[in-house]
Structure 1
Amino acid sequence: MKDVKPFLMFQGGTAEEAMKYYTSLIEDSEIKSITRYGAEGPGKEGTVIQAVFSLKGQEFMCIDSHIDHEFTFTPSFSIYLTCDTEEEIDSLYEKMMQNGTALMPINNYGFSKKFGWLNDQFGISWQLNLPE
């Protein structure tokens, strides 16, 4: 086995926008490769056949599905971020909540100093934690 990566399937041509958004929010992150559909398809020209990006060294693969599916992302799979400061967790939570949905509003739930769980504008679920 060569490696293991989380794989995110976007619909509606938003994979590249999501990658750019995530890598702009999280330092030490980058888009590593993008392969796009051409005019011959089968996906819409310019959308992502396959891409790899990294967040703090963790690589993810993603695509823009050219097939409409009956399913999308679920909070049962989430990206967990351990933050260093209150300013960092507050800033990330505020930015990710723009057009997002709170699953657990940012608060002290007893298991950490500050914690928030949300679905962002792309439907990806994030857990943000500031340990004691």
Structure 2
Amino acid sequence: MQKIVPHLWYDKEAKEAAQFYIGLFENSELLHVTVLEDTPSGDSEIVSFKLAGQEFQAISAGPYFTFNPTISLMVACDSVEEVDVKWRALVDGGAELMPLGEYPFSKWYGWVRDRYGLSWQLMLVDEGQTTQKITPNMLFSGESCGMAEEAITFYTEIFDNVEVGVVSKYEPGEAQSAKAKVKYADFNLYGVNYSN
């Protein structure tokens, strides 16, 4: 059983969104739907599902919280065609955050907000590169800019099954903000990879 499960908050669309995502990934399924009655948000629907073998939960609990790009799901794609197919599905009714194209860190990449507001980064990975299919990604910007490494250190202090991977830092003058320190880092909590 997955120890840490990403939990997604929707106004009323949790089940609809989960079914849409399930259609995009192999080895995906709806696990169960539970209704919590008479919560402060009224009746709230909790949806448990798997995407590419990884567990997720979603809740329909009113318009009190909305997604923003500080949390996104990074998808490791095996081909340009896979990136393109997922991109077309996710951008339909959504919005482009970074255009689909070639970047210094990936031969084919795009960042998109889907019709439900959830942010996805689609990236072509090199052949033979073994990686988790969907990696929760945290963006430290605004008031939290420069705090990525501090956050990883904090997680290693409170969780007992943590592995820190790559921590790639900006060279002097390379970042757009003087506060920014880490351009990319990854870590593993209880067997699940995360990045920022």
Tell me which amino acid in the other structure corresponds to 1:55: L
State the partner residue of 1:92: 86
TM-score scaled by length of structure 2:
0.59
Q: Which has the higher contact order (CA 8 A, sep 6+)?
A: 1
Partners of 2:109 and 2:124 within 8 A in 1: yes
State the partner residue of 2:26: 27
Q: Distance in 2 between matches of 1:62 and 1:55?
A: 12
Tell me which amino acid in the other structure corresponds to 1:124: L
Q: Distance in 2 between matches of 1:124 and 1:32?
A: 20
Question: Which protein is bigger by CA-based radius of gyration?
Answer: 2
State the partner residue of 1:4: 4
TM-score scaled by length of structure 1:
0.86
Q: Runs of 4 or more off by more than 2 Å in structure 1?
A: 40-44
Q: Any residues of structure 2 matched to 1:46-65 within 5 Å, and which?
A: 48=45, 50-65=46-61
How far is the alpha carbon of 1:62 from its aligned partner? 1.1
How far is the alpha carbon of 1:57 from its aligned partner? 1.4
CA RMSD after TM alignment:
1.6
- Structure 2: state its 5+ residue gaps: 127-196
Partners of 2:6 and 2:56 within 8 A in 1: yes
How far is the alpha carbon of 1:41 from its aligned partner? 3.9
1:102-121 residue CA offsets vs partner (Å, 9 max, x unmatched):
11011001111100001000
SS in 1 for 2:83: helix
1:35-71 residue CA offsets vs partner (Å, 9 max, x unmatched):
125xx64435xx61x22111111111111114x31x3
How far is the alpha carbon of 1:131 from its aligned partner? 2.2
Tell me which amino acid in the other structure corresponds to 1:23: I
- Structure 1: state its 5+ residue gaps: none
Pair 1:118 & 2:83 matched: no
